[in-house]
A and B are shown apart, each in its own frame.
Chain A
Amino acid sequence: MDSNIPHTLPRKSATFDDYTLSEIRRAAQTGIYDIRGAGAKRKLPHFDDLLFLGASMSRYPLEGYREKCGTNVVLGTRFAKKPIELKIPITIAGMSFGSLSANAKEALGRGASAAGTSTTTGDGGMTPEERGQSKHLVYQYLPSRYGMNPDDLRKADAIEVVIGQGAKPGGGGMLLGQKISDRVAAMRCLPKGIDQRSACRHPDWTGPDDLEIKIQELREITNWEKPIYIKVGGARPYYDVALAVKAGADVVVVDGMQGGTAATQEVFIEHVGQPTLACIRPAVKALQELGMHRKVQLIVSGGIRNGADVAKALALGADAVAIGTAALVALGDNDPAYEEEYRALGTTAGAYDDWHEGKDPAGITTQDPALMQRLDPVKAGRRLYNYLKVMTLEAQTIARANGKSHVHNLEPEDLVALTIEAAAMAQVPLAGTSWIPGKQPF
């Protein structure tokens, strides 16, 4: 080659980027879709695209630490004889024993109970560890019905009928053979070591009219005591929430596409469902139109990370939020302290998402007895407690700055958006303008 001739630099395709190429090669080699844990990793419009205005001439702030700012929330006031009262509006989302180790479940229960909030079972039944350590335990009623029985139903403080999850609206649970240990297999009544794909539809009802009857049955079995939640993935939040109310829910949980999962096809996680930010206003609108806002409580989840996210979700109309991924990180998931081991697994701390393989160095998403022992449930529970406290203090800081004596007094009028997309989804004005795309002309 003539070195005097300028030649163009090698250029990689923006469409066929390195990640895409690696995925094509992986698929060609293995013949199976990519399965992983966690939620959508692509960049999406999110709570970071919103800002609070704070106090000014027309709004007085409250004194930090001195003037009270309430954080309690009561869930299940519509029909249940025994609603749940939580000290903080941040709950722990449903994560199955099976996907998580027994120690991790126990740690979640310890941390949540100390902070005065609830934790939730998952696809795989209720363990004595989590019941024992959870002051408020929500028992999931899933299509698979693994481990479902009337005794545990009565031991629960609330029942959550799962229709879908944000990571995979329309998909069922997955737990691959590596994690089907003897104990997990026995609880789910399945052969050990099989790749288990749970049903995605409930076996004995279809549609909201049947669900209404199913809820009646659950209430009859539990003496109309327990709040009944309905959890939906962020698919059609306006209609789903309206139908959940019609079916008789006390509480509706809406989980956006950033919501974590224990194991799902990557294509599902990244391409099905709507971002959390896009789900909240339609859900609230449905409740308001039915005269049910604040009567049927709304819990929002999917990518909640800090007190600002909590405050923003509440300002948009949620009564509480739920966290999954963040709670696992507080316990010790993806901790850089295990970097060497993450490297050995072909990844790096912060990116580890092969939770379905059961090799978690942090002892959380595993059933391996040796790895599981690494997680001290007492210490990990304390970390979760600290983290929940910090999130609550952060949300209070924001609420006080906006002049609110309870976090539930935050409102959409306290917010502006940094991007047009976020302004349209959250239906708050673009910063510096009075423009809400899709609502008012500029």
Chain B
Amino acid sequence: MSTQGLSELDLQKAGVRGINQTLQGLAKNTNQRHWLVRNPMGQHAIAVGLDAPLHVEVHGHVGFYCGGMNKESEIIIHGHAGVGVAENMMSGLVWVKGNASESAGATGNGGLLVIDGDASSRCGISMKGIDIVVGGSVGHMSAFMAQRGNLVVCGDAGEALGDSIYEARLYVKGKAHGLGADCIEKEMRAEHLEDLAKLLERAKRKERPQDFRRYGSARKLYNFDVDHADAY
């Protein structure tokens, strides 16, 4: 470890507990902002609950919940991520250079999650304000019960996209293989193109906003009506 520049942590030596204790223990105004985590070995709960403006580069694959409940930190994963990467993120950035498993960005409240590769099913499930940009495709039931925030998919979306969606906005460039209950295609207005352009730029994507379609809630299931009961 050094006090300036890049500090290194070896998960094989420190264990998950050691890594998290070190990163969680840093003061918000620390000068020791840049961290490198080696040998993550697919372990779970790496770099969770961080609460300072750190920059953490993880070299290798991570297991479940990497970056869970993150606040302020930038966590870059040079590898694939297991279930629930950046789950319930509050702010900051989690960037997966490979693919992500199920429930990526689940229930996230804020911040940006970028997945360069594909994400599996339930990407953005119950999202509450997070922005998610996926370079590849997402699996089925993505944005299930999504409440707020944006999900951008540069590839295709699996079945039942946006099932029972609330106020989140979904942008898909490729094909959506079926929409879930109460999810419909919506008009792409100037404000949406503008938002989408910013999101693509933050995720360093080259796609053009006008090539995407927008999906969101028809708001027909917001209040119970017997004549809509068959929609489920």
A residues with a Cβ closer than 8 A to B are 30-32, 144-145, 148-150, 153, 177, 189-191, 193-195, 199, 203-205, 210, 213-214, 216-217, 220-224
Whole-angstrom CA separation of A148 from B24 in the bound complex: 19
Whole-angstrom CA separation of A148 from B89 in the bound complex: 10
- With A204-B83, A220-B48 known as contacts, the answer to whether A189 contacts B109 (CB < 8 A) is yes
Chain B, residues 83-107, CB within 8 Å of chain A (1/0): the string is 1100110100000000000110011
| B177, CB-defined interface residue at 8 Å | no
A189 in complex: contacting residue of B24, B102, B129, B229, CB < 8 Å:
B129
B223 touching A195, Cβ below 8 Å: yes
B90 touching A150, Cβ below 8 Å: yes
A213 in complex: contacting residue of B45, B102, B122, B129, CB < 8 Å:
B45
Binding site secondary structure of chain B: loop
Whole-angstrom CA separation of A343 from B103 in the bound complex: 48
B147 touching A189, Cβ below 8 Å: yes
Shortest 6 CB-CB contacts between residues of A and residues of B = A31-B226, A221-B49, A204-B84, A204-B103, A217-B45, A145-B107
A278 to B: closest C-beta gap in Å: 32
Whole-angstrom CA separation of A352 from B207 in the bound complex: 58
A194 nearest CB neighbor, chain B only:
B222
A220 touching B88, Cβ below 8 Å: no
A150 touching B49, Cβ below 8 Å: yes
Residues of A within 8 A of B183 (CB): none
Residues of A within 8 A of B45 (CB): 213, 216-217, 220
B48 touching A217, Cβ below 8 Å: yes
B118 to A: closest C-beta gap in Å: 18
B226 touching A220, Cβ below 8 Å: no
A50 to B: closest C-beta gap in Å: 41
Binding site secondary structure of chain A: loop
B87 touching A204, Cβ below 8 Å: yes
B69 touching A221, Cβ below 8 Å: yes
Residues of B within 8 A of A177 (CB): 223
Chain B, residues 41-54, CB within 8 Å of chain A (1/0): the string is 00011001101000
Whole-angstrom CA separation of A195 from B223 in the bound complex: 5
Residues of A within 8 A of B224 (CB): 32, 195
Chain B, residues 200-228, CB within 8 Å of chain A (1/0): the string is 00000000000000000000001110110
A194 touching B223, Cβ below 8 Å: yes
Stretch at the interface among B26-34, B60-68, B184-192: B60-68
Whole-angstrom CA separation of A185 from B224 in the bound complex: 18
Residues of B within 8 A of A189 (CB): 109, 128-129, 147-148
- With A189-B147, A191-B166 known as contacts, the answer to whether A217 contacts B106 (CB < 8 A) is no
Whole-angstrom CA separation of A195 from B103 in the bound complex: 25
A216 nearest CB neighbor, chain B only:
B45
Residues of A within 8 A of B148 (CB): 189
B122 in complex: contacting residue of A193, A203, A223, A224, CB < 8 Å:
A203
B126 touching A145, Cβ below 8 Å: yes
A162 to B: closest C-beta gap in Å: 14
A393 to B: closest C-beta gap in Å: 43
Whole-angstrom CA separation of A203 from B227 in the bound complex: 28
B44 touching A216, Cβ below 8 Å: yes
| B71, CB-defined interface residue at 8 Å | yes
| B198, CB-defined interface residue at 8 Å | no
| B197, CB-defined interface residue at 8 Å | no
A149 in complex: contacting residue of B109, B122, B223, CB < 8 Å:
B109
B156 to A: closest C-beta gap in Å: 22
A145 nearest CB neighbor, chain B only:
B107
B222 touching A220, Cβ below 8 Å: no
B65 in complex: contacting residue of A32, A199, A204, CB < 8 Å:
A204
A190 in complex: contacting residue of B63, B166, B229, CB < 8 Å:
B166
| B145, CB-defined interface residue at 8 Å | yes
A149 touching B90, Cβ below 8 Å: yes
Whole-angstrom CA separation of A195 from B226 in the bound complex: 13
Residues of A within 8 A of B24 (CB): 223
B107 touching A148, Cβ below 8 Å: yes
